[in-house]
């Protein structure tokens, strides 16, 4: 049964322009329709806010204000916003229509994707988010439903309706907008939203593409929120054996519970993704995931929701403590959620445990066959007792890794530390011997633990010349960022006024530092229009400005030939010493030929002269009071005179 036929909007024309043809999807905040712009005759998507939200005036105002901002975000991987408006109780956005499917549709149909396919989708998503982050916006609701895959293969990010300006906090009514399965810990606890919440959500999406499953489940939304706060996202290889450990590290970096050790925005995460792709071989990128990993969870009902932010949520455990396992349940829908309190009751046993138990079967069968055949059975038995493999401990905390090694019958060797931009502080970067290598029982394995990204303080650069300031930043491990210039009477021209971030602020090595450079004391541009060109040059150059003469001269009724008719910048504006002022020189008024009117009647003479563009003055004297014939004209016929000038005719 086609439910769109029951939708009251289908068939209507909104705002006298948008004809609603069919309902496409229903979300937690709005319904999306396929529509036709009758004015431009094009198909588009119309997103109409739910009436309950449309009744909230402040929400509508913010929704429209932010939609206008996002409409200025032009990027090939962002669904464009064409228009916004209201029609009675309907509040809507008119957006680009993408014919195709969502990433959610792909995951529901295919389950886990090959790493290459996951990267092919994630990279354009991060490019779109990176453009938004650098423009000052945060998406805040990244999830597979908002990743559109067109019939032509293009990937686009949709639903920027929840975007907020960078560094703003959602404190209104103590709630946070978003989808439970993809919320970053800081969104849940404080409502803070900066680009790193999108990075976290993209890490969850990557995990889901690699495994076909979400990392956190629960019998209630509260349990899922609790797990976001208290549990690390597990390595994808724990669910899909054989995945490269570099993929584990990438997911761990993006989904770090501590926002400070995540990539600082989507551009930084994209760089990590590209680096990971470059080090993986074709076999690792094209590894076919087991069909059993296909998601059994119907995420179609993961809706964007207004979620009360519980202040009683317990703080996450320190990353160097081993956290007790929490069995996974199921989450079927996100909606308006209750308070997230203390640790929820344990969920039913994990549905993944049968798979883990089944892996012991093949080894038992193999041992039995070898023993029955008597081929090398004794050697196999002895070697199996003397050697083992270094277990997978990458991305684990030090305590977890040590426990895992001891469980495998191995000793813990030396503990080293190293900086890492991709591996969370306090977790394992590498082992010696490497994970998977054969090692004798009771031998030791050395661990290298991440110190997190190397951070350095922003140096004090005020008063430094720009070139020296750039050199100091590079020497300290930072990058010179955007340079803006301001007038300053205190700081010499070309020297640094201030930096952003401020001096002393700790920043990740390689981060950019913006510089504000002095333009010196401002110079007021004098008014030189009407002056001879040589005099105008002298005045401006004495003020410390450069002069450029425009190649084209202009006609002017106001200024004589050779005088300055226009200047740029205009008089009274402020300029920097050494700036250039462009002068345009007058070639005088337009010269036109004067008609010969001697002998004509006064009426005919006046008509001819005025028609040519002149004004007329009559000189009758005593003898011409009653005359009507022009005896003389002030400029002879055939000569030229400035257009608009006065021609005197003498009448007798």
263 falls in which pLDDT band (50, 70, 90)? very high
Q: Which residues of 502-525 are buried (b: 16+ CB within 10 A; e: fewer)?
A: eeeeebbeebebebbbbbbbbbeb
* Cα 193 to Cα 138: distance, rounded to the nearest angstrom: 7
455-518 fold: Trypsin Inhibitor V; Chain A (3.30.10)
Q: Is the pLDDT of residue 164 over 60?
A: no
Q: Is the pLDDT of residue 593 over 90?
A: yes
Bigger pLDDT: 148 vs 315: 148
Q: What does the pLDDT look like over 96-131, one tens digit per residue?
A: 999 888 999 899 888 899 999 999 999 999 999 998
Q: Is the pLDDT of residue 179 over 70?
A: yes
List phi, psi (to 5°) of 457: -80, 145
CATH number (3.40.50.1000, 3.65.10.10, 1.10.3720.10, 3.30.10.20) of 591-651 reads 3.30.10.20
> What is the average per-residue pLDDT within 506-512?
81
Query: Tell me, what's the pLDDT at 45?
Result: 92
Q: What residues are labeled active site? A: 141
Query: Tell me, what's the pLDDT at 354?
Result: 34
Topology match between the domains 1-97 and 389-453: no
Q: Is the pLDDT of residue 173 over 60?
A: no
Please tell me which of 225-234, 379-388, 597-606 the model is most confident about, judged by mean pLDDT.
597-606
Spatial neighbors of 327 by CB under 8 A, at least 6 apart, are 346, 347, 348, 349, 350
The beta-strand segments (E) located in 531-600 are 546-549, 564-568, 574-575, 580-585, 591-593
* Cα 629 to Cα 617: distance, rounded to the nearest angstrom: 14
Q: Is the pLDDT of residue 226 over 80?
A: yes
> What is the average per-residue pLDDT within 14-26?
90
Which range has the worst mean pLDDT, 195-204, 240-249, 304-313, 502-511? 304-313
For the chain, the structural domain boundaries read 1-97, 101-343, 389-453, 455-518, 523-585, 591-651
291 falls in which pLDDT band (50, 70, 90)? low
Query: Tell me, what's the pLDDT at 442?
Result: 80
523-585 fold: Trypsin Inhibitor V; Chain A (3.30.10)
Nearest Cα to Cα of residue 145 among 52, 265, 28: 28
129, HSE (Cβ side, Cα atoms, 13 Å): 34
Q: Considering the chain, what is the average pLDDT of its residues?
A: 79
**pTM of the full structure:** 0.48
For 101-343, CATH gives 1.10.510.10
> What is the average per-residue pLDDT within 52-72?
73
343 falls in which pLDDT band (50, 70, 90)? very low
Which residue in this structure is represented by tokens 């450069």?
546
* Cα 370 to Cα 454: distance, rounded to the nearest angstrom: 52
> What is the average per-residue pLDDT within 574-602?
91
Query: Tell me, what's the pLDDT at 644?
Result: 86
Q: Is the pLDDT of residue 618 over 60?
A: yes
* Cα 204 to Cα 328: distance, rounded to the nearest angstrom: 16
Q: Is the pLDDT of residue 256 over 80?
A: yes
Query: Tell me, what's the pLDDT at 66?
Result: 64
Of all residues in the chain, the percent with pLDDT exceeding 90 is 38
Architecture of domain 1-97: 2-Layer Sandwich (3.30)
377 falls in which pLDDT band (50, 70, 90)? very low
> What is the average per-residue pLDDT within 290-297?
47
Which range has the worst mean pLDDT, 310-319, 320-329, 427-436? 320-329
81 falls in which pLDDT band (50, 70, 90)? confident
Answer yes or no: CATH 3.30.10.20 is held by domain 389-453. Answer: yes
* Cα 136 to Cα 168: distance, rounded to the nearest angstrom: 11
Which range has the worst mean pLDDT, 262-271, 334-343, 504-513? 334-343
* Cα 142 to Cα 127: distance, rounded to the nearest angstrom: 13
Q: Is the pLDDT of residue 379 over 60?
A: no
């Amino acid at each position: 049964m086609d439910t769109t036929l029951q939708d009251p909007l289908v068939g209507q024309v909104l705002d006298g322009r948008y004809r609603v043809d069919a309902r496409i999807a229903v979300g937690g905040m709005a319904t999306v329709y396929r529509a036709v712009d009758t004015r431009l005759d094009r198909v588009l998507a119309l997103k109409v806010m739910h009436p309950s939200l449309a009744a909230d005036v402040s929400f509508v105002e913010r929704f429209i204000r932010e939609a206008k901002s996002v409409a200025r975000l032009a990027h090939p991987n962002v669904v464009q916003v064409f228009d916004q408006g209201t029609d009675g109780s309907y509040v809507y956005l008119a957006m680009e229509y993408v014919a195709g499917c969502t990433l959610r549709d792909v995951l529901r149909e295919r389950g886990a994707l090959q790493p290459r396919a996951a990267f092919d989708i994630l990279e354009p998503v991060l490019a779109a988010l990176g453009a938004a982050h650098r423009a000052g916006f945060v998406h805040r609701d990244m999830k597979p439903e908002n990743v559109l895959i067109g019939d032509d293969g293009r990937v686009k990010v949709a639903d920027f309706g929840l975007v907020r300006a960078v560094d703003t906090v959602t404190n209104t009514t103590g709630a946070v907008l978003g989808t439970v399965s993809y919320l970053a810990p800081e969104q849940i606890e404080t409502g803070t939203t900066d680009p790193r919440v999108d990075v976290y959500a993209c890490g969850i999406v990557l995990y889901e593409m690699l495994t076909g499953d979400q990392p956190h489940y629960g019998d209630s939304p509260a349990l899922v929120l609790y797990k976001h706060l208290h549990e690390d996202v597990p390595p994808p290889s724990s669910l899909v054996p054989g995945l490269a450990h570099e993929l584990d590290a990438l997911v761990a970096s993006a989904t770090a519970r501590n926002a400070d050790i995540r990539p600082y925005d989507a551009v930084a995460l994209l760089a990590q993704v590209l680096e990971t792709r470059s080090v993986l071989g074709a076999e690792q990128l094209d590894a076919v995931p087991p069909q059993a990993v296909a998601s059994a969870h119907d995420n179609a009902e993961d809706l964007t929701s207004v979620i009360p932010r519980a202040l009683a949520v317990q703080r996450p455990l320190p990353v160097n403590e081993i956290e007790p396992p929490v069995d996974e349940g199921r989450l079927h829908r996100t909606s308006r959620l209750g308070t997230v309190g203390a640790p929820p009751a344990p969920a039913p046993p994990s549905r993944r445990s049968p798979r883990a138990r089944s892996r012991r079967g093949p080894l038992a069968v193999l041992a039995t066959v070898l023993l029955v055949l008597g081929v090398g059975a004794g050697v196999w038995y002895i070697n199996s007792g003397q050697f083992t493999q270094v277990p997978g401990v990458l991305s684990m905390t030090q305590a977890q890794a040590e426990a895992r090694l001891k469980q495998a019958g191995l000793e813990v060797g030396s503990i080293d530390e190293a900086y890492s931009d991709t591996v969370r502080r306090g977790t394992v970067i590498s082992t010696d011997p490497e994970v998977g290598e054969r090692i004798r029982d009771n031998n030791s394995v050395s661990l290298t633990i991440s110190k997190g990204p190397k951070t350095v303080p922003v140096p004090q650069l005020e008063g430094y010349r720009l070139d020296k300031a750039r050199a100091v930043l590079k020497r300290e491990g930072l990058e010179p960022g955007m340079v803006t210039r301001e007038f300053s009477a205190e700081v010499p021209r070309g020297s640094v006024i201030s930096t952003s971030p401020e001096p002393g602020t700790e920043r990740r090595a390689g981060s950019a530092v913006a510089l504000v450079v002095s333009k010196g004391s401002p110079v007021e541009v004098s008014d030189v229009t009407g002056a001879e060109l040589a005099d105008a040059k002298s005045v401006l150059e004495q003020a410390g400005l450069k002069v450029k003469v425009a190649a084209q001269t202009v006609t002017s009724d106001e200024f004589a030939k050779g005088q300055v008719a226009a200047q740029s910048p205009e008089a009274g504006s402020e300029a920097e010493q050494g700036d250039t002022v462009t002068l345009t020189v007058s070639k005088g008024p337009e010269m036109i030929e004067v008609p010969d009117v001697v002998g004509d009647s006064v009426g005919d003479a006046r008509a001819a002269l005025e028609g040519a563009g002149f004004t007329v003055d009559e000189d009758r004297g005593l003898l011409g009071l009653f005359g009507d014939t022009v005896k003389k004209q002030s400029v002879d016929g055939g000569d030229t005179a400035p257009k608009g000038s006065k021609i005197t005719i003498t009448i007798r």
